[in-house]
């Protein structure tokens, strides 16, 4: 699906929300839901940044680090891939205080979801790096580049393009996983919806708005990643023709 189609879908979802907001049944719920959506967006953005950093570092450590670094990278990946994000949230929020480490709920949400998605992203990054043609490594070696120079100038720019589509899927998964943070006292979009529904029992208008808001947010992520992929591909193509 092209970017233009995605933009049309995004605009359509926003227009539908705006139309529904003109009706009293829907309008009374929209401010509270948008407030929750802002918190959801903050957790998603910060969690995504953490996930990218941890994913790339873990992939590089697993591939090229010394034995202790490879060992740590593998432990991180297997623990956070092999356990539930919900359990990770609970562990950071309820167990760490038993050791004298008290973190705010927002910090716990960003850490747990970012580290969880980063563990999956590490394998995406590793696969993208190893998919770069062997000839690229050999050419860089012939130019007497160090491994760091090879990665920075030759390998990672090409691997970056291959990483973008799977990372886009992981960011959307991160967005949906934010619904778990309501269980550690955060008033995200899902929590606001549940709270309103329990109070008013207006299930149809509340969850219709929630569905549209989540859809709009996921479309923003998809459009941004498609645009980034196109820009990166064009930049790499220009680099090859210089």
Please tell me the distance from the alpha carbon of residue 110 to that of residue 159, in angstroms, as a whole number: 26
Task: Give the model's confidence band at 236: pLDDT under 50 very low, under 70 low, under 90 confident, else very high.
Answer: low
Could you tell me the domains of the chain? Answer: 3-235 (1.10.3720.10)
Please tell me the distance from the alpha carbon of residue 153 to that of residue 140, in angstroms, as a whole number: 9
pLDDT single digits (tens) 54-93: 999 999 999 988 999 999 999 999 999 999 999 999 999 9
Count of positions (residues) in the chain: 242
Task: Give the model's confidence band at 241: pLDDT under 50 very low, under 70 low, under 90 confident, else very high.
Answer: very low
pLDDT single digits (tens) 100-157: 999 999 999 999 999 999 999 999 999 888 888 777 777 777 777 877 788 877 888 8
pLDDT of residue 240: 52
pLDDT single digits (tens) 144-180: 787 778 887 788 888 888 888 899 999 999 999 999 9
Percent of the chain exceeding pLDDT 70 equals: 96
pLDDT single digits (tens) 198-209: 999 899 999 999
Distances (CA, A) of 136 to 48, 65, 143, 155: 30, 20, 11, 7
- Which pTM does this prediction carry? 0.89
């Amino acid at each position: 699906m092209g970017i233009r189609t995605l933009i049309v879908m995004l605009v359509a979802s926003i227009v539908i929300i705006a139309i529904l907001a003109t009706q009293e049944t829907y309008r009374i719920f929209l401010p509270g839901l948008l407030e929750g959506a802002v918190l959801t967006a903050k957790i998603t953005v910060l969690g995504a940044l953490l996930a990218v950093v941890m994913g790339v570092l873990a992939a590089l450590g697993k591939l090229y680090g010394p034995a202790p670094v490879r060992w740590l990278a593998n432990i991180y990946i297997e623990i956070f891939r092999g356990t539930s994000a919900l359990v990770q949230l609970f562990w950071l929020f309820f167990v760490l205080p038993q050791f004298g480490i008290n973190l705010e709920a927002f910090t716990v949400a960003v850490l747990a979801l970012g580290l969880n998605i980063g563990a999956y992203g590490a394998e995406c990054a590793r696969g993208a790096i190893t998919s770069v043609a062997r000839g690229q490594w050999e050419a860089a070696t012939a130019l007497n580049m160090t491994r760091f120079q090879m990665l920075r100038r030759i390998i990672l720019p090409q691997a970056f393009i291959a990483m973008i589509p799977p990372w886009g899927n992981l960011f959307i998964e991160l967005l949906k996983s934010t619904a778990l943070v309501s269980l550690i006292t955060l008033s995200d979009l899902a929590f606001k919806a549940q709270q309103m529904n329990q109070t008013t029992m207006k299930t149809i208008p509340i969850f219709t708005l929630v569905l549209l808001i989540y859809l709009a947010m996921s479309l923003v992520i998809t459009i941004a990643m498609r645009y980034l992929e196109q820009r990166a591909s064009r930049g790499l193509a220009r680099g090859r023709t210089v």
